[in-house]
Chains A and B, each alone.
Chain A
Amino acid sequence: VSSEKRPPEPRALTSGTAERLAAIVEAAEQAAAKVIDDAEEQAQRLLQDANARADRVVAERLRALADELDGSSGASDGRTDGPHLRPVEPAPEPSQDGRSKAAGARLLATQMAVSGASREEIEQRLRAGFDLTDTSEMLDAILGPEE
């Protein structure tokens, strides 16, 4: 094979070229790392958004439950409709008072849950304010059963 037809010898890399190549490889690696970081960041953001949405759904449900309890404790949606011109009973019936107290305890627990209080904090507050010894059933209903 004549030297004219011989494939050209691969040229030895000069130190400058090697440096350029190393820089290119490093830049490519950095770009790849950035792609991974961005993807992780995006995934994290999506996860946070999903968690926030889930928190909002839970909060809305708890608020709805609080509204319901508020209503059952005596508040009437039709308070503004027509006059309510009768005096307050000086001594309400004990059973009614008891119901109101129980509804109040449930509303307290629900409102505290909405505001982010822990199970232990709610339990402590219920015990102090309502003299309740067993709060587990109420708290299970609001917060879900303990794991």
Chain B
Amino acid sequence: VNLTDLQTLEERYLMRTYKRAPVEFVRGEGSVLWDADGKEYLDFLAGISVCTVGHCNAEVVEAVREQAGHLMHTSNLFYTEPMVRLAERLAESSLGGRVFFSNSGTEANECAIKIARKHAHRRGIEAPEIVSFERDFHGRSYGALAATPALAANPDLAPMLPGFRAAPFDDAAALREVVGERTAAVLIEPIQGEAGIYPLSDETLLAARQACDEVGALLIFDEIQTGMGRTGSLWAYEQTPVRPDVITSAKALGGGMPIGACIASPAASDVLEPGDHGSTFAGGPVACAAALAVLGIVDDAALLRRVRELGTQLREGLLALDRVAEVRGRGLMLGVGLAEGVDAAAVGGDLLERGLIVNVPEPGTLRLLPPLTVDPDQIERAVAMIDSALLSYAAT
């Protein structure tokens, strides 16, 4: 079966929700992928920040293999050790409360939305509202979608879930205006990922915390993309002047296995009760074993320091290039703002042909999310390829 065959089968059998690049990957190791023709690619997207410990990391592969050989699924009606151990590790490494497991990031946000609404009802609010920022991305299920203003505006998907409001991005004063007596929670990405890597300012984060405290609302950080070491600390909130009440995690958590988690502080840990929420597959032993292996690698001061250092190397390398206007983000979560008029999609396509995988989340921006285990030489090669692609673009 070659790529053309796959495209024919896709056309016949897959819903048309994705516009895939014309490449079939068959193997991965560390920061490198190989396609069906044996061509090598440097992966600076890591499956959208999923493969942060590299492709086919030996420790993760072994954990999955061993657990799959013992027990793959029991449901949440029984105990399994990997789930409980993972909950302990996630809670102790962050907010110190309790954890609800899910199968994805959008489901983790659904759990957070339920916590916020029930918490608000307990405070006597009949029609609670969740506030998020314009250009936020929290997922595609209806609750998470309603908190994703750009996608929620799609009339073909109406009616949307009520009880959501959007505040202008990174505007502290406007946020204070939007948060009011009906606010159940402010749900934010500390660094907007899908929008193109836009960090929230300290001023806005402080305003969000203060506004939530004043009305008794919860502050929820969607750390699905920023968490698990991506920004150079295990959780991005650790590099901000606030501590949220709830954080959601997914993507890198399972190192390639689908898993999400909603982690609450002690104050928000007992809101959900039996019957309020659940999942058949969530917290399954194989995904949890993988996540424990990933945490074993990522929750390490030396690795996190290396992420910050490599992030600085990548940022400085990119800023030295012509036609790079700015570099946004933190650690190894970087958005490269190209000079005005440069077509990022064309540059991204050229880079794929040259053997570098990046993402173009918006016109004018390249998004770089390499594995945290990337090495300095690979960063140097990636910067050189981006330089060549930009020079080539300028020549056309």
Q: Which residues of A contact B (CB under 8 A)?
A: 63, 66, 70, 73-77, 79-80, 82-92, 100-101, 104-105, 107-108, 111-112, 114-118, 121, 125, 129-130
Interface hub of A70, A108, A115 (most chain B Cβ within 10 A): A115
B117 proximal to A (CB < 8 A): no
Chain B nearest CB from A50 CB (Å) reads 17
Known: A70-B243, A111-B239, A115-B234. A80 touches B122 (CB 8 A): yes
Closest 6 CB pairs of A and B: A104-B241, A84-B216, A116-B301, A115-B233, A108-B241, A129-B202
Give the contacting residue for B239; candidates A86, A100, A115; CB below 8 A: A115
* Cβ A112 vs Cβ B238 within 8 A: yes
* Cβ A90 vs Cβ B177 within 8 A: yes
Cβ–Cβ < 8 Å partners of A82 in chain B: 123
Q: Using A73-B206, A108-B239, A111-B243 as known contacts, list a sample of 20 further A-B pairs with CB atoms less than 8 Å apart, ordered by residue number in A.
A: A70-B243, A73-B210, A75-B209, A80-B122, A83-B124, A84-B216, A85-B124, A86-B214, A88-B215, A90-B173, A90-B176, A92-B176, A101-B206, A104-B205, A111-B233, A112-B239, A115-B238, A115-B304, A116-B233, A129-B201
B119 proximal to A (CB < 8 A): yes
Whose C-beta in chain B lies nearest to the C-beta of A75? B213
Main DSSP-derived SS at the B contact region: helix
User: What's the Cα separation between A73 and B273 when bound, in Å?
Assistant: 30
Whose C-beta in chain A lies nearest to the C-beta of B216? A84
B267 proximal to A (CB < 8 A): yes
- What sequence of 0s and 1s flags, for each residue 164-180 of chain B, a beta carbon within 8 Å of any chain A beta carbon? 00000000010011011
B242 proximal to A (CB < 8 A): yes
User: What's the Cα separation between A100 and B211 when bound, in Å?
Assistant: 12
* Cβ B237 vs Cβ A130 within 8 A: no
Chain B nearest CB from A21 CB (Å) reads 46
Interface hub of B233, B241, B243 (most chain A Cβ within 10 A): B241
Give the contacting residue for B213; candidates A79, A91, A111, A116; CB below 8 A: A79
Cβ–Cβ < 8 Å partners of A105 in chain B: 241
B125 proximal to A (CB < 8 A): yes
Cβ–Cβ < 8 Å partners of B124 in chain A: 83, 85
User: What's the Cα separation between A104 and B206 when bound, in Å?
Assistant: 7
5 contacts between A and B (CB under 8 A): A73-B242, A104-B242, A108-B202, A111-B233, A114-B238
Interface hub of A77, A79, A117 (most chain B Cβ within 10 A): A79
Cβ–Cβ < 8 Å partners of B267 in chain A: 77, 79-80
User: What's the Cα separation between A31 and B179 when bound, in Å?
Assistant: 72
Interface hub of B205, B210, B304 (most chain A Cβ within 10 A): B210
Give the contacting residue for A88; candidates B122, B123, B211; CB below 8 A: B211
- What sequence of 0s and 1s flags, for each residue 286-304 of chain B, a beta carbon within 8 Å of any chain A beta carbon? 0000000000000001001
Chain A nearest CB from B118 CB (Å) reads 11
User: What's the Cα separation between A90 and B214 when bound, in Å?
Assistant: 11
User: What's the Cα separation between A79 and B270 when bound, in Å?
Assistant: 13
User: What's the Cα separation between A114 and B234 when bound, in Å?
Assistant: 10
B240 proximal to A (CB < 8 A): yes
Whose C-beta in chain B lies nearest to the C-beta of A76? B213
User: What's the Cα separation between A75 and B180 when bound, in Å?
Assistant: 17
Cβ–Cβ < 8 Å partners of A84 in chain B: 123, 214-216
- What sequence of 0s and 1s flags, for each residue 196-240 of chain B, a beta carbon within 8 Å of any chain A beta carbon? 000001100110011101111000000000000000011101111
User: What's the Cα separation between A73 and B205 when bound, in Å?
Assistant: 12
Known: A80-B267, A105-B241. A89 touches B214 (CB 8 A): yes
Known: A108-B241, A111-B240. A86 touches B181 (CB 8 A): yes
- Which B125-150 residues have a C-beta within 8 angstroms of A? 125
Give the contacting residue for A79; candidates B181, B211, B216, B241; CB below 8 A: B216
Known: A101-B206, A121-B308, A130-B202. A107 touches B123 (CB 8 A): no
Cβ–Cβ < 8 Å partners of A116 in chain B: 233, 301, 304-305
